[in-house]
Amino acid sequence: MSVATLIKRSTARLLVTLLLPLQIAMPVSGRDLEEIRQSGVLRHLGAPYARFVTGSGDGLDVELITLFAEYLGVQYRFVETNWKDVIADLSGKKFVVHGENVEITGNAPVRGDLIANGLTVIPWRKALISYSNPTFISGVWLLTKAEYNMSPIQGSNDMQRDIDEVKAGLKGRELFGVANTCLDPQLYNLAATGARVKLYQPPSDNPVELIPALLSGEAETILLDIPDALVALEKWPERIKVIRPVSMPQEMGVGFAKESVALRKAFDTFFEQIKRDGRYLALLRKYFPGMSSYFNEFFSG
């Protein structure tokens, strides 16, 4: 056997020896409450989004999960992720989305104990993770440029009627959405309206970047959820307008691994407590002062 062959084989054995402990160290299932308490750390997975996770160290969900860590008696640790990877980072599963279903394609390392970043309840996500009781109510609006030849609807007390009116105005118009999120046109059957549907991939994985695409003329109309739309209206008040809803009210919640049953139950108990004592309402007023006017019953309850 040549010296070169011996070197190659020795190198291969060394790589296997080095990589095996790393593979073993990467968990592929979620931790539950007792394991988290033993570790002394709660890992919060968050992708920067609206005012839930600002990217500057604060946000509604950052403060919410910090309070939850205090409630559990453990340290808080933020683990930044992105919208493409966040579900895999919690579930430990690689997957492909097919409408409301998912196909598991492999395992992924688990990087956190829960997701909190304005996570809308979507059917395919429920196949991979569990949700807390609702923490936020949202919805999806249609937006366009202020000068675009499409008028906001008058609005009524019948939301389904309002949605139908918005959809009726989409025929022949270009519509941008984001696949596999609450902004996916497929969720609302918008192709059936006759709209020219296009899926947009925001450069930094943040849906609010649909606004620059709109303002640059790249898109005629876009989908945006209410929290992001309110932030956008503050930033570009004279340049965009809201046509109104394409969805019924949608629930958001904190995401948990399927295995983390006790952790999820502990969060639900904690959340009811801070709703009753007013701490959650104070956080809502701090980060989303206008939301209560849209879903007053939920946010005041």
Q: Would you say 174 and 220 are in contact if contact means Cβ atoms under 8 Å apart?
A: yes
Chain segment 221-235, per-residue pLDDT in tens: 999 999 999 989 989
Name the residue among 2, 20, 36, 28 with its Cα closest to residue 262.
36
Residue 300's pLDDT band (boundaries 50, 70, 90)? Answer: low
| Strand 240-245, strand 140-145: pairing | antiparallel
Say if residues 236 and 215 touch (Cβ distance below 8 Å): yes
Residue among 111, 126, 136 at smallest CA distance from 258: 126
Q: What is the pLDDT of residue 126?
A: 96
Q: Determine whether 85 is exposed, middle or buried from the number of CB atoms within 10 Å of its CB (0-12, 13-18, 19+).
A: middle
Residue 212 and residue 209: Cα distance in Å, rounded?
A: 6
Which helix H or strand E contains 119, and what residues bound it?
strand 114-120
Q: Which residue has the higher pLDDT, 219 or 270?
A: 270
Domains of the chain, CATH where assigned: 28-137+250-300 (3.40.190.10), 140-245 (3.40.190.10)
pLDDT over 60 at 10, yes or no: no
| CA–CA distances in Å: residue 79 to residues 66, 85, 281 | 13, 12, 25
Dist. CA 202–CA 223, nearest whole Å: 13
pLDDT in tens, 30-73: 899 999 999 999 999 999 998 999 999 999 999 999 999 999 99
Give the C-alpha separation, 72 to 33, whole Å.
9
Look-up of token digits 């992720």: 81
Nearest Cα neighbor of 90 from 117, 55, 64, 68 is 117
Residue 247 contacts residue 140 (beta carbons within 8 Å):
yes
Helices 279-287, 60-72: inter-axial angle, 10-degree rounding: 160
pLDDT grade for 6, boundaries at 50, 70 and 90: very low
pLDDT for res 293? 67
Identify the three-state secondary structure at position 255: strand
Number of Cβ atoms within 10 Å of the Cβ of 286: 13
Both tokens of 20, joined, read 């095996």
Strand residue runs (E) in 158-300: 174-177, 196-199, 221-225, 240-245, 250-257
- Three-state DSSP at 111 gives coil
According to DSSP, the β-strands at 250-257 and 129-131 are antiparallel
pLDDT the model gives residue 99: 84
Average confidence score pLDDT of the chain: 89
What pLDDT digit, counting tens, does each position of 77-97 carry? 999 999 999 999 999 999 999
pTM score, two decimals? 0.86
When pLDDT is averaged across residues 113-137 and rounded to a whole number, the result is 97
